[in-house]
Every structure is written in structure tokens, then in C-alpha cells.
Amino acid sequence: MGGRERGETVHGDRGRQEVTTSRRRPGWAHAVLVAALAVVGAAVVAGRALADSVGWVAAGVVAVWAVSAVVVVVTRRDARPAMLTVAVAAAGAAALVSIAWATDDLVAGSAALDAWDAATVARAMAISLVPTAIGLLVVGAPDGRFADARRRRATFGIVLLALAAVATLVAAGPVVSAVVVVAHAVLVAALAGYVFVDSCRASTPVDRARLQWLGWGAVVSGAWVGMAAMVHWLTGWPPDLAAVAVGATAIVPVGVAASSVTGLLRVVDRVLVVTIVALGLALFAGAVYLVTVLGLHGVPEGGERAVLGLSLLAALIVAVAVNPVRRRLEDLATRRVYADDERSDGALETFASRMSRAIPMDELLLQLAESLKRSLKLTRAEVWTGHEGRFERSVSVPDGGPAHLGLGSEAQLVAARAHVQGNAWLAVWVPELLDGRDDQAVRFTSIAHLGELLGFIVTERPPDDAPLDDEAERQVFVDIARQLGLALHNMRLDTALQATLDEVRAANRELAASRARIVAATDEARRRIERDLHDGAQQHLVALAVKVGLVRKLLEADPETAVAMLDELRGDAQAALTELRELAHGIYPPLLRDRGLAEALRTAAQRSSRPVTVEADGVGRYSAEVETAVYFCCLEALQNAGKHAGDHATIRIRVTACDRELVFEVSDDGVGFEPDAIEGDGFVNMRDRLGAFDGRLDVSSAVGRGTTVRGSIAHAAGSPSPAA
């Protein structure tokens, strides 16, 4: 990650860089390719020296292993799997060369070498190397690493088994012990197979796919050898079983090569399943033949073996091809019997497959109704949906137009448990669905989830047709209703979630706007205070300062005038104090802080230009924030009523404490206004004040019927009041 690998080049274009990797392979790849060529050459030379079918087949298997190593080199940039693969090929080539050495005396004429003893040792080592190399390949699969303790222990065990096999084969002399070779191969396979299964369980999906291809090769190879042995024993064919058995092992390197091709990793599971099913059926057919022949006739002889071989081959072909042929025959029969390529349960299958796709619910219901009508030969298929006793016809095939239906609570409860019912049940519980269907056989299927009726399916067919009493068709309706109930329930949850999400988004937008308005209102309040101070109290204080200067000058020249001006100064000072007190009341009334909400509202009512009644008995003290919010909301509503309610209107302020909320109401019997005009600045300010503490504000008004402003706020909002 810290730099570019060798073979990478960087191209620049208008400030952008592109890194490309050359196709040059690293040094180990060239070594593997050269080794593969050498292995193929050695295998061909040894096969020619042996000059028999087994030798040539073995040479071909070694060549397949070498080609597999080349495929791994081309498709993967990891040295370990390729080197392990070419090591298996090299072990096979070494075994062929050593056998040819001992058999054909390739070193004859060399008096300086005891060829027999050397050939025996070399042969024993080479024969033991083949299962050893394959075992190490399986243990190291899929990445060729032996880092964990489990793999290291298995590797150590495989090496010990190889040494034991070499010692046993050398001690046996020139005669190769088949028992030793087979026992060695079985033990190595058991040890490697245990590690292989454990690796499959703990591997990633990609590594598991690589291991499955390797397992596929082993399964097919073993099954091929088993079937060939069984056929050979029964019929005498193939004549050279050893060559067939050796040739079957070539499927293993094919699996190794396939495990390195990325495109094949996606299909290995399907290939493995089909292979296991086909081989299992073939082995089953062969086993049945074996038991039948031995039990009824004995081992065949002479011309009987040829007939038995052909019949066994036919049975194997039938066993392998029975599943695809059966599926095609079923499809053909379906098209001929139903004339539309759909069985009675086809609606269920298509509905289940469509539910997993992003299809709108309306389209899904329409497809369901069409499928039901077509597959069950119905006159009409309808799907009704709804909740809380109100249902509407969502889809109808053929189209019957919109329709609505109301059900009582008892009818809903019974319908939710009804499953599939007919005309008699409908006549008792939902007779409305029988209107206009007197000459039809109607079936009602409830769609429910967790005991709640979410809808129902209504189907019609002529009464002289086959009735819908077949258990399979009834089960189709039940299964479709169950899946549809889950789908409708999920859709309702999605709709509720989306509505909640929209509400949260709207609340967030309102909160952001409210914060902006509060900031703007705060700035405007500061500017208003500054303006009031400048235009009111400041002017009084400036006038006081000027008059004080004049009095000082007149004290000696005109004492009587100075005394009169001092009296004027007293009045001016009182006017300035009143101005400051009025300004302070607008910012935060001291009476609210000292005496509470009830006294502050009564005092504010006395300054109103309209008759005001205050009802706040029993209202105690609350946090300063709560009292301030309620006071200024009532004051805002009082001022609005004084301006717009009319000259003869009376106003009532009522504050009560209920539950954990403080509720206020400001109402008047004035002229009122249209509800669309209630969102003025005053109401926005009140909502912002209450919204800061999660409070609520409701405004109701009508022309000629007055206006009522009602708000509530939680008791616990804010900090305790200092005077509480």
C-alpha cells in the first residue's frame, strides 16, 4: 500500500492520475510454467517407456495436473496454490519415472550403479509422494497456507505417514505392496478430509466456493471409480479397470483449476447439488442392479454379461436424466391440461416470487387476482383491503369499479378467523358481498395478521363448475391469504413509519424556523429597548440635566424662579421614573417575579382598554420560565383581543393547573375572524414561546362568535422559580 508494485505505470491527464498494472508475471510464475513443461515432458517419456495403457493414462493425468497449475498461475496472483498444484504433478511424474526405471531398466549398461536397489528406493519414495502431495494440497486449500496449528499438525501427520510408507515399500523389495499403497492413500485422505471439512466451516464465502470446487472433483472422481468397479465386476467392462481408475483422478485437477476461475465460483453450489443428485441416483440404480442380479441369478457369465452391461448402462442413464425429464414432462402436461401454463398452485408460487421484488402493492394485488382467475378458472376474483371495519375493493378481475363495505366489531372478529368460507357463511355474516352474485358460487378468504382483519379475497365461479372444495385449492387460498396478510401488515408499518418520519421532518423544519424567529425577535427586542430608552427615558434625563444647569445659574440671580424650577424638576424626575418602570414592565414585570402569575395577570388586565375578567384562583408558583411563557402568551392574546375584538367585547382570562400541565385560555365575545387568518405574527410568537418547552397552542374563531386562544405547558419545564 505504500508504493506501486513493479510493473505498474502512472498516466497523468489534466491533473488526474490513472494507475494500470502490466500483464508481466512475477518470477515465481515463470518458474511454475517451466516446471509444468518439465513435468509434462517427464510424464510423456515415462509413459512411452512403460508402453501400456495405465502408463499412458497416468501420463495424461500428470499432464492435466500440470495444465491445472498453469491455469492457477494465469488466474491467480498467489504463488502457493500454483506451486502446490505443480508439486502434485511433479510427484506423479516422479512416480512414473521411478516405475519405468525399475521396469524397463533405463539405466542398464551402467556398471557403477546398483540399479535395482536405487530403483526400489526411488520407486518407494515417488509412489509415496503422490498421496502426500495431494494431501498437502487439500490441507493447504484454498490459499496454500499452513499458518494455523490445525494445518501444521495435519502436515506433520501426513509427512510421518509418507515416511512410514517409504520404509514399508523399501522393505517389501521389488514387489510393490498394493495394501501399503492403498492404506497410505486412505489414511492421508482421512486426515486431509478432516481438515478440509473444518476449513469449509470456518472459511469466507469465496474460500468456501474454492473448497467446494475441490470437493466436487474428489466426489466425481471417487464416484466414477466406484461405478467403474461395479460395472467391471458385473460385466467385465471396462477390461482395464486400473487405467479407468487412474484416469478418473484427472477430475480432481479439473476442480482445482475451476476453483481459481472467479466466474465459476458463483455456480459451484448449483453444480455441486446437481452432481451429488445425479451420482446418488446412478449409484442407487447400480446398487439395485447389483442386489437383484446377485440375489436372483448370481454372477453372470458369457453373453449374459454384455446384455447386463447394456441394461445397467440404460438404468444409469435413466437415473441421471430422470429429474430434468420429469420437470419437462410436468411442464408439458401443465400446458396441455390447463391450457395456460399454470397449475392450481401457480398463483401461490408466482405471488411468493413477486413479493420479493420491488413491485407496488396495487400492481401485486392485480397480478394476484389475474393469476387466481386464470389458474382456478374463476368468473371473478376480487381483493378487498382496509382496517377498523372500513374496507374497499382494491382490485377486481374483470374490473367491477370501486366499492366500499363496513363491518362491525363482531363481524370483523368472526371474519378474521373464518379462513375459507362459502355462500351460506356469507349470507349470515357478510350478506352485502352476495348482492348481485345470487347465481354464483362465492368463496370468501380472510386476510388477517395477528388476529386483525386486513382484507379478504372474494372469488366467483358458476355453480355447475367443479366446486372449490378440493383441499389443495383451499390450501392455496389459505397460504396466499397468510402471505398477503404479512405483506399488508408490513405496508401499514411502512406507511406509519413514513408518516412519522414526515412529522419528524416537519417538526425539525418548524424547530429550525422557530429558532430563527426567536433569534430575530431577541434582536428586535434589543433594538426596541434601545429605541424606547433613547426616545423616552433618555429625553427626560437630558431635559433634567439642562434644567439642573439653569437652576444652578438662577440660584443667586433669581432665587424664586430657581425654587419654581426645582418643583418642575421633581415632576420631571417622577415622569422619567414612570417611563423606566413602564419599560421594565415590558421586559419582565417585577410583580410576576414577586407575587406570581395570578397577580401579574390581574394587574395587566387593569391596564386593558376592554373589560377583562381573570380566573386564576388556586394557581400556585411554578418555574420562572413557565410563568414567563404563560404570562406573555396571555398578554399577547389580551392585546390582540383589545385591538380586534371590537368596542363592546369583553375578555376572560382563565388559568388552571391539571395533571402535570398548566393550561391558560383567553377568550372574547367579539367579532371573531375567519379561521384561515389566524396565523398572524402574534400567534407565531406565542407558538414559539410554548414550543420551546414542548407546549401547545390552539386558536379557534368564527365570524360573529368571538375568539378563544388556548395553550398548555408542562409544569416541570425550566428551572425552579426563585420566589417559589
Contact in structure between 426 and 442 (CB atoms under 8 Å): yes
pLDDT in tens, 249-261: 888 889 888 888 8
| 77-94: average pLDDT | 82
pLDDT in tens, 499-548: 888 888 887 787 777 776 666 666 666 666 666 666 666 666 767 777 77
Q: Is 200 exposed, middle or buried (0-12, 13-18, 19+ CB in 10 A)?
A: middle
Banded model confidence at residue 440, pLDDT cuts 50, 70, 90: confident
Which pLDDT belongs to residue 711? 92
Q: 595-714 falls under which CATH superfamily? A: Histidine kinase-like ATPase, C-terminal domain (3.30.565.10)
Residue spans of the domains in the chain: they are: 28-202, 223-340, 346-486, 595-714
Which pLDDT belongs to residue 44? 73
Beta strands in 108-195 (DSSP E): none
Nearest one of 351, 374, 561, 528 to 447, comparing CA atoms: 351
Q: Which three cell numbers stand for residue 459?
A: 372469488
Integer Cα distance of 590 and 477 in angstroms: 75
Which pLDDT belongs to residue 90? 84
Which range of 171-175, 315-319, 509-513, 532-536 scores highest in mean pLDDT? It is 509-513
Which range of 10-14, 26-30, 386-390, 556-560 scores highest in mean pLDDT? It is 386-390
Residue 689 has pLDDT above 60, yes or no: yes
Percent of the chain with pLDDT over 90: 4
Q: Which three cell numbers stand for residue 69?
A: 497449475
Q: Is 585 exposed, middle or buried (0-12, 13-18, 19+ CB in 10 A)?
A: middle
pLDDT in tens, 547-606: 777 777 777 777 777 777 777 777 777 777 776 766 665 566 777 878 888 888 888 888
Q: Which residues contact 534 (CB under 8 A, 6 or more apart)?
A: none
Residue 479 has pLDDT above 80, yes or no: yes
Which pLDDT belongs to residue 387? 83
Which pLDDT belongs to residue 575? 72
The strands making up 390-397's β-sheet, listed across from edge to edge, are 404-406, 390-397, 380-387, 452-461, 441-449, 420-421
Q: What share of the chain is helix, strand, coil (3-state, %, to 5)?
A: 65, 10, 20
**336-350, 485-499, 681-695: range with lowest mean pLDDT:** 336-350
| 667-693: average pLDDT | 78
Nearest one of 588, 584, 689, 683 to 629, comparing CA atoms: 689
Banded model confidence at residue 491, pLDDT cuts 50, 70, 90: confident
C-alpha separations of 64 from 73, 104, 213 in Å:
14, 25, 16
Which range of 113-122, 612-621, 669-678 scores highest in mean pLDDT? It is 612-621
Which pLDDT belongs to residue 718? 42
Q: Which residues contact 30 (CB under 8 A, 6 or more apart)?
A: none
- Residue count of the chain, please give it: 724
Angle of helix 268-296 relative to helix 205-235, nearest 10 degrees, comes to 20
Which pLDDT belongs to residue 562? 76
CATH architecture of 346-486: 2-Layer Sandwich (3.30)
Banded model confidence at residue 173, pLDDT cuts 50, 70, 90: low
Q: Which three cell numbers stand for residue 337?
A: 391440461
Long-range contact pairs involving 153-159 (C-beta distance under 8 Å, separation at least 24): 154/191, 154/192, 154/194, 154/195, 157/191, 158/132, 158/188, 158/191, 158/192, 159/132
Q: Select the more confidently predicted residue: 198 or 299.
A: 198
Integer Cα distance of 399 and 188 in angstroms: 71
Which pLDDT belongs to residue 384? 92
Q: Sign of the CA dihedral 289, 295, 299, 304?
A: negative
Q: Where are the alpha helices (DSSP H) in 249-357?
A: 251-259, 262-265, 268-296, 303-338, 346-355
Q: Is 573 exposed, middle or buried (0-12, 13-18, 19+ CB in 10 A)?
A: middle
Which range of 313-327, 445-459, 703-717 scores highest in mean pLDDT? It is 445-459
Angle of helix 79-104 relative to helix 251-259, nearest 10 degrees, comes to 160
Which range of 106-115, 262-271, 564-573 scores highest in mean pLDDT? It is 262-271
Banded model confidence at residue 653, pLDDT cuts 50, 70, 90: very high
Q: Which three cell numbers stand for residue 362?
A: 396495487
pLDDT in tens, 690-724: 877 778 888 888 888 889 999 998 865 444 444 44
SS (H, E, C) 206-235: HHHHHHHHHHHHHHHHHHHHHHHHHHHHHH
Nearest one of 91, 323, 134 to 222, comparing CA atoms: 134
Which range of 172-176, 405-409, 512-516, 567-571 scores highest in mean pLDDT? It is 405-409
Q: Which residues contact 429 (CB under 8 A, 6 or more apart)?
A: 411, 414, 415, 418
| 91-105: average pLDDT | 71
Q: What is the pTM of this model?
A: 0.45
**54-58, 73-77, 111-115: range with lowest mean pLDDT:** 111-115
Mean pLDDT of the chain: 76
pLDDT in tens, 604-644: 888 787 888 999 887 888 888 888 888 888 888 888 888 88
Integer Cα distance of 481 and 420 in angstroms: 10
